[in-house]
Amino acid sequence: MPAIGVGDITLHYEESGRGAPVLLIPGTAARGRTWWLHQVPALVAAGYRAITLDNRGVGKSGPAVPGLSIADLVGDTVAVIEQVVGGPCRLIGTSMGAYVVQELLVTRPDLVYRAVLMAGRARPDAVSATLAAAERALVAAGVVLPPEYDAVTRALQNLSPRTLEDPVTAQDWLDILEMSPTDWTDAGHRAQLGVTVDTDRRAAYRTITVPTLVMSFADDLIAPAVRGRELAAAIPGARYAEIADAGHYGYLEQPDAVNSALLAFLHD
C-alpha cells in the first residue's frame, strides 16, 4: 500500500485504473477499502483512475491525536491531491468524508473539477449533536460493547428498514458487522469522533463555485435526507439526488443506483 508523508504523519492510499483521477474520502473510522467493493470497480470500468485514502487515524495512516480537526483532514486531502493525483481532480466523500470535501471546496476550489457529497449536512441539529456527544461519552467511559450488540446497533442506525426486512440480507449484514466491530479503544478512531459538523456552515457553502452533486439516502438516520436537501440548497447550482431504500451505508446498500447517479454527474 503506497504512502506519502505529510509533516509528522503518514497517509496511505490505493489506486486503480487509468484516466481522469477521482479521489474518494471515507467516513468516520472507515478505511478507503470500503470504496473498493462497488465504487472503485465502477469508476475504473468507466475509464477513471480511482484513488482511495485512509484518513489519518485509520488503517496505516496516522497518527491521529486528540484535537484532530476538520482542517487537519482537509490539509491531508490537499496533500494527496498535490502529491499523488498531481493536480485538480474529481472528489467523492461520504459522511465525515463529505464534510472534508465540503470544506475543501471552500478553501481550495482550484483543486477540484467536480464533487459528490454523500450523506452530508451543512449544520448540526439536536439529534446529530446529541449522538456525537453520546458517542464521545461512551468512549470516555471506557465502555466496550459486545460484538453482537454493536452489530445490531450499527445495523439499526445505518441500514434501511427495507434491507433489514429480508432475513437473509439482514443476517449477512449482521455477520459482517459483528466480524468487523469498530474499535473505539483505538486512539485514531477516538480522535475522528471529534470531527463533526458542529456549526452552521450554510453561509460558507454559498461561496462554493465547483459543480457539486449532493446525494442523500432516503432512510438515513445519521444524515437525514432533509439535511442533504438543505446542503444542496446552500451550494449555488448544486444538484441533488436521493437514493431510495438506503440508509447511511447507502453506497454499499444500493450501489447500482449510487454508481449510476455519480457516474452520470462525473461524465456530464
Sheet with 89-94, strands from edge to edge, namely 3-6, 9-16, 48-53, 20-25, 89-94, 112-118, 212-217, 239-243
Residue 221 forms part of a structural domain:
yes
Residue 140 forms part of a structural domain:
yes
Residue 175 forms part of a structural domain:
no
pLDDT digits (tens, 9 = 90+) for 18-46: 999 999 999 999 999 999 999 999 999 99
Residue 66 CA to residue 193 CA, distance in Å, equals 9
Residue 177 forms part of a structural domain:
no
Q: What is the reported pLDDT for 183?
A: 84
Contact 92, 23 (CB under 8 A): yes
Does residue 164 surpass a pLDDT of 90?
yes
CA 51-56-57 angle, to 5 degrees, is 125
The model carries a pTM of 0.97
Angle between helices 96-107 and 70-80 (to 10 degrees): 70
Which one from 95, 128, 160, 216 is the annotated catalytic residue? 95
Q: Which domain holds residue 252?
A: 3-144+184-267
CATH of the domain at 224: 3.40.50.1820
Q: Specify whether 220 is catalytic.
A: yes
Q: How many domains does the chain have?
A: 1
Residue 242 forms part of a structural domain:
yes
Does residue 181 surpass a pLDDT of 90?
no
Q: What is the reported pLDDT for 1?
A: 79
Contact 50, 35 (CB under 8 A): yes
Residue 154 forms part of a structural domain:
no
Q: What is the reported pLDDT for 185?
A: 85
Does residue 264 surpass a pLDDT of 90?
yes
Q: Which of 72, 64, 226, 198 is nearest to 131 (CA)?
A: 198
Residue 67 CA to residue 162 CA, distance in Å, equals 38
CA 96-99-100 angle, to 5 degrees, is 90
Residue 212 forms part of a structural domain:
yes
Residue 130 forms part of a structural domain:
yes
Which one from 128, 216, 219, 248 is the annotated catalytic residue? 248
The mean pLDDT of 185-197, rounded to a whole number, is: 92
% of the chain at pLDDT higher than 70: 100
Which one from 54, 72, 219, 220 is the annotated catalytic residue? 220
Does residue 223 surpass a pLDDT of 90?
yes
pLDDT digits (tens, 9 = 90+) for 60-111: 999 999 999 999 999 999 999 999 999 999 999 999 999 999 999 999 999 9
